[in-house]
Amino acid sequence: MAATSEGVGDQLQLADMRRRLKAIFIGSVGNLVEWYDFYAYAAFALYFAGSFFPHDDPVVQQLNAAILFAIGFIVRPIGGWFFGHLADHYGRRNALMLSVLLMCFGSLMIAVTPTFTRIGIGAPALLGLARIIQGLSLGGEYGTSATYLTEVADEKHRGFYSSFQYVTLIGGQLCAIVVLLLLQQVFLTAEELKAWGWRIPFVIGALLAIIALVMRRNLHETDDFIASKAVARRESSVKALFNYPREVLLVVGLTMGGTTAFYTYTTYMQKFLKLSVGLTDTQTTLVTAASLIFALFLQPIYGSLSDRIGRKTVLIWFGVAGTLFTIPLLNALQATTSALIAFLLIASAWLIVAGYTSINAVVKAELFPTKVRATGVGLPYALTVSIFGGTAESIALWFKSIGRETWFYYYLTALIAISLLVYVTMRDTKQRSAIGRHE
């Protein structure tokens, strides 16, 4: 009888593990598609900027495109609020489905928008509207997916499983780079890419979003959310957030340096390699893709490490190393003419930045109780990313346009140093997690 009970227990445990892994896989795939759609804009901006922003100076064209990229971030707090409210009151699954549907619409809109030569100022206006729609979607996706992945993971491996948010986030950008590489090297000429080929990745993104939507229909709701439904709540998620001012400020502080570093070594790095280092289009794409692959594999390693030694130690590693080595790394990168050296330097930077990217989602989720978790993670994060992460590329290009490119290196270092102060003074959320609290 005891052996039978033990066997049944093992089967139930195995079934529970399979359920968790399936939920994490589906949630991660949807996240990858959303980030692919969003980053396709950055990956192909070198080709379509001239179609929407006519100008003789390519730096100015890229600056205009970067401003619209930043607009997608400006509206992310609205998406963080709306989808956070939806996830906290009506379920994580419903919010995840709606966010990917909205991203599909935004990508399709970019794919069919006419150029400046056809409709004049209406072209960048429509492009901006599409970026607003994508920004709203992504503003909700981050907080909801971070909450979902954290809640479906078991306690001992929460850092590891939650790191897959940035695996898929980086993977989405990597997919955009791979599509660019295939179009560059196999299917189209540079002239065809600039003329019409840049529309292809957005069509692909819209189709992938539909597939992700179908997959997310099969997601089960998290146990934490179901349990929290039994607790009466009379106030909105945003109003409830005022009961956690310290946690909100912690999200802002721990995010500002990390998000700026992340967007420096992802969206801006492609332009930096082309315009500052002087690599060819092919070299730029290959170095960017290789560095993203390296970064992708670092995420679960650092996430698993945080399950062993704590979240705080991993964050402090990023803060200390980022403060000390950001300026030397970027100076060395700007000075090199070798694609291999450029890759090694960016890979070195990722050894630092992964200390933030791998676990920032789980740290934020562990700060808040269930009833306000999606809003608590999504809204202050989206606001911080809008101010610091989304503007990183525009600020860097502006410094370059006025002949003061290295000023950006000091700006980034200062933000990382401020976040370091937060890491040193905050609690280790692995030891004192709010997961399971439904008050």
DSSP state letters, 27-42: HHHHHHHHHHHHHHHH
pLDDT value at position 15?
62
pLDDT value at position 179?
87
pLDDT value at position 342?
93
Q: Which domains does the chain have, with CATH numbers?
A: 24-226+235-425 (1.20.1250.20)
d(CA 279, CA 342): 9
pLDDT value at position 42?
74
3-class SS of residue 359: coil
d(CA 1, CA 30): 44
Residues 6+ apart with CB under 8 A from 151: 92, 222, 223, 224, 225, 365, 370, 373, 435
Q: What are the residue ranges in the chain where pLDDT is below 70?
A: 1-17, 19-20, 27, 55-64, 69, 230-238, 433-439
pLDDT value at position 252?
93
Burial 312-321 (b: 16+ CB within 10 A, else e): bebbbbbbbb
